[in-house]
Amino acid sequence: MLTKTNLEELLAYKSKSPILSVYLNTNPAKGTIEDYKLQLRSMLKGIDLPQDVEAVKEYFDLKHDWGKGRGVAVFSNQADDFFEAHPLAVDVRSRARFHHYPHIKPLAALFDTYSGSGVILIDQQQARFFSFQLGELKAEADFSGGDVKRQKHGGGSQIVGRSRGVEGIADSPDVISQRNMRDAAQEAAKFLKANDVRRLLLGGTDKNISLFREMLPKSWQSLIVGTFSMSMDSGHDKVRAKALEIEKEVEKKRQGKLVQTIITEAAKGRNGLTNPEDVLDAAREGRVQTLVIQDGYREKGYQCQDCGHMTLQKTAACPFCSGNYEEIEDAVEMAVRATLRADGSVKVLEDEQLLSEHGKMAALLRY
């Protein structure tokens, strides 16, 4: 399972020799193994890193498990004896890049959308807790409370529960179910905290979800991003698929609102930037809270070898320190790396017309 530590290690890794980064979508619902191998060969054609190209081909021919996952990220630098392959449970756009550092822009976007996901299935007696990381099951747990049975018509009670108040008289089904949900909410809070959940989905009937939501601490209620109907005995693959579907929909709506917020802030001269040159400066200075990029956007740029200033315009000398500029293949990737180093987040948007009309790269600033 790809972790935040893996991402941080890739962010820190640099080499004097080029590193080949390959992302390949392998979703079996969208193509066959041969389709994807053909696409891979096409992407690698013309890349003048023969040892790395061969290492990547060998991995997909002999080592990759085609029966699992929807994508894979591979990083190879044979000159430095470096090779990593990370199968992914979520879709990724296929591409191949080579720089003196790993191409991590796609991974940064996936972490922002699909990391720290929690799902709770709830009914009046039981609860099931799930934690997902990039679409993979990270942890799960169960809770079971007191039996809740309906009272028998016209006679004795068949209610099973702990006595409260009057000895020998069992609690009502409503009392038992509320107690179960309260206890389940307490266990859920422990599970969610232990697994660093940042967004939460609730599954069950509308009534049960509504009751359970009220039992959760306010801090966890604020992280609920969606609800859905699902039976308690559903397999985790079905739960995962539903969670990914909802998360993608929620994220798309959030991204649209974020772009509008940035544009409004920029127009008012506050904490929004839509000019790529300004965004590069803010990223280098560590002021970017959220970097927003149009999917597929790349731009050649230049970076001062002394002070690190980045620009898209070719200049004889750095205006800040008079240092020499070095051409960089993708200035957008450098903005991503600078944002991540400053603990900012990165969002890569698909089909976002409003962003494409405002420079394809924008930022919400901390200050």
Q: What is the pTM of this model?
A: 0.86
List phi, psi (to 5°) of 124.
-75, -15
The predicted model gives 68-76 an average pLDDT of: 96
The predicted model gives 52-80 an average pLDDT of: 96
- Give yes or no for a contact between 273 and 363, defined as CB atoms under 8 angstroms apart: yes
What band does 123 get if pLDDT is binned at 50, 70 and 90?
very high
Compute the C-alpha angle 94/100/103, nearest 5°. Answer: 25
* pLDDT at position 170: 62
Residue 260 has pLDDT above 50, yes or no: yes
Residue 151 has pLDDT above 90, yes or no: no
Residue 160 has pLDDT above 80, yes or no: no
The number of CA neighbours under 13 Å toward the Cβ of 145 is: 26
* pLDDT at position 154: 41
- What are 299-319's pLDDT values in tens digits? 999 999 999 899 999 888 999
Compute the mean pLDDT over every residue in the chain, rounded to the nearest whole number. Answer: 91
- Cα distances (Å, whole numbers) of residue 1 to 73, 90, 175: 12, 12, 42
How far apart CA 278 and CA 265 sit, in angstroms, is 14
How far apart CA 205 and CA 228 sit, in angstroms, is 8
Residue 165 has pLDDT above 80, yes or no: no
What band does 157 get if pLDDT is binned at 50, 70 and 90?
very low
* pLDDT at position 167: 53
The predicted model gives 44-52 an average pLDDT of: 96
* pLDDT at position 359: 85
* Crossing angle for the helix pair 105-114 and 4-12, to the nearest 10 degrees: 160
* pLDDT at position 161: 40
* pLDDT at position 332: 96
The predicted model gives 38-60 an average pLDDT of: 97
- What are 269-298's pLDDT values in tens digits? 999 999 999 999 999 999 999 999 999 899
How far apart CA 352 and CA 325 sit, in angstroms, is 33
**Residue in this structure with the two tokens 């969670």, named with its chain if needed:** 243
* Torsion from C-alpha of 240, 186, 184, 220, nearest 10 degrees: -40
* pLDDT at position 164: 47
* Crossing angle for the helix pair 206-215 and 173-194, to the nearest 10 degrees: 60
- Give yes or no for a contact between 85 and 59, defined as CB atoms under 8 angstroms apart: yes
What band does 68 get if pLDDT is binned at 50, 70 and 90?
confident
Strands 345-349 vs 288-294: parallel, antiparallel or unpaired: parallel
**Coil vs helix vs strand at 49:** coil
The predicted model gives 360-367 an average pLDDT of: 96
- What are 318-338's pLDDT values in tens digits? 999 999 999 998 999 999 999
* pLDDT at position 316: 85
What contacts 154, CB < 8 A, 6 or more positions away? none
Residue 247 has pLDDT above 80, yes or no: yes
Residue 49 has pLDDT above 90, yes or no: yes
How far apart CA 129 and CA 50 sit, in angstroms, is 47
What band does 158 get if pLDDT is binned at 50, 70 and 90?
very low
- The continuous run of DSSP H or E covering 19 comes out as strand 19-25
Residue 351 has pLDDT above 80, yes or no: no
